[in-house]
Structure 1
Amino acid sequence: MGVVMGKDEKVNIPHLYMKLAMDLEKLRNYPWGMYSFDFLLKQIDKTRHKLEQNEGYLMEGFLFGFQIWIMEVVPALGEICGTKVNRNFTGPLYVEILGSRGVIDMGISNEATVAEDVLGVRRRRRHRTELLNAIESEMVAVKDRLRENVEDVSLWRRSSGFKDKFSTQETWILTRTSYAHIDWANNYGQGCEMYRVDVTCALCKNAAESRSHLFFECSYSSQIWENLMLDILRGSYTTDWNAIVALLKQSDRDKKRSFCLRYGFQTIIYVIWRERNKITHGESPLPMNAVKKLIDKGVRNKLSLLRSRGGKGTESALQYWVSTRT
């Protein structure tokens, strides 16, 4: 029998951890990364209210990832607060870089941190060595950037450097993985064929699917279109997409006819596309008669709502629609 205990007697082990510890397979497959990220965000939100307190604060979570993020967002921190040293380095940073004499010339303590030297009270010195003068200049510049009486400036990363304006396009380019341009990307049929995707119409199974075929050259969709629109279009009836769009754009003095045509067109498009997606994703479509009744009911409900609200020019639209159904 195993026992799960915390390092501190005051720390309670969550019940979730205990259950995971009893099932090694679940323990290995548990999304620890996502959990750690969410936990870290909660800790940051909890801790940020304590930043103005002088007694300090404690933050828990995956802080290493947080530190990496800070260094990525503000790369200047690495240049200011860090430097490359050899792997055998064990002594104070200033001594390693400047030597024992350089530390004395700078007036810096062997044990001092960068923050203590930059923010502390010290007078700038002039040196004969270029390196020491460069460090003095950098410390002054850093101290100037860290002034408390000046508002922070938010900068956004761009391909050309950090800018004060945010760009969705630049952010997308920087965060996505780029691939080589593929010539057939604009050719729907050829692209699907290369990936062996069936482009046959899901409704009639007799031709390649395209916009013009689906609306309304397809034997399935043309039956629905004819059943609902033949008596409205009459002599102008057609199943050609471009011709239908031209009819929809025409200004018609008969507002009730124009509205029934346009709203009926929208409803038919929506329902046919939904039935097409059902078949594509392995679901069973509705029977043809059920589809016709569904569209008819949807149009009637819309027209009834308009009549109850007193829509101008559509008072008799419901009667007109019903007359085309008989």
Structure 2
Amino acid sequence: MVLWNKAALLKQLWAFYFKQDKLWVRWVHAYYINRGAIDTVTINSNTSWLLRKILDSRELLRDICGWEEVSNTQKFSIKKAYNHLQEGFDRVSWRRLICNNQATPKSKFILWMALLNRLATTDRISKWKRDCNTLCKLCGVQEESVQHLFFECEYSKSIWNAVLQYIELSPVNTAVGELRRVVQKARSKRSKDKLFVMLYTESLYAIWLQRNSKHSKDSILSPHAVIKEVIFKVACNCNENDRCRLLLV
């Protein structure tokens, strides 16, 4: 968002430089720039906060070596400006899993955190030099990690296996294997593949909620109750045709 805001400020600065036929731009030229140059106009106490931010972006323009880097056929391209400010970050392989996903926003956020390995599982918390029990909150047998929590814990495995059985798929039982499969299906436009992506996302979120409930309240739902909640959420967020397909499975 910070980079996108900088790109948007550059777009406003572009309008000032090339005097686009907009009332606000003409007003700024008449009362602030006053026949001067954008490069030399000074910022004083009378300059509004918004105008000050736009004029401050002149330094950013110098850093990116002029308008040629962010223009497209003599028009400002906010997309090129944003990409230029990003400095060419590589695309992740699972981007379609987040973008082409009809699951609830909260579940997609937890999925995104899990993909980045940023969830506060006990194996990560222990690395912050905090004394804590590193065993899984759900089963209490092995160290809690993203791999174990969602795909190796007996409680989570029972939920995930039942969800896969519901849509007639066999389990892979490893985080890497399931991620590879769901990433591949996220590229598909088939209704069954879309349902699988949604079920994958909502299942991870449901397991995470039960993990937190066990930690804070020492209570969890039965796997059967969790599965019913997952299917209900997916049915509420998919279109009518996919809902019928889900209920008929």
TM normalised by structure 2 equals 0.47
Larger Rg: 1
TM normalised by structure 1 equals 0.37
User: Which structure has more RCO (C-alpha within 8 Å, separation ≥ 6)?
Assistant: 2
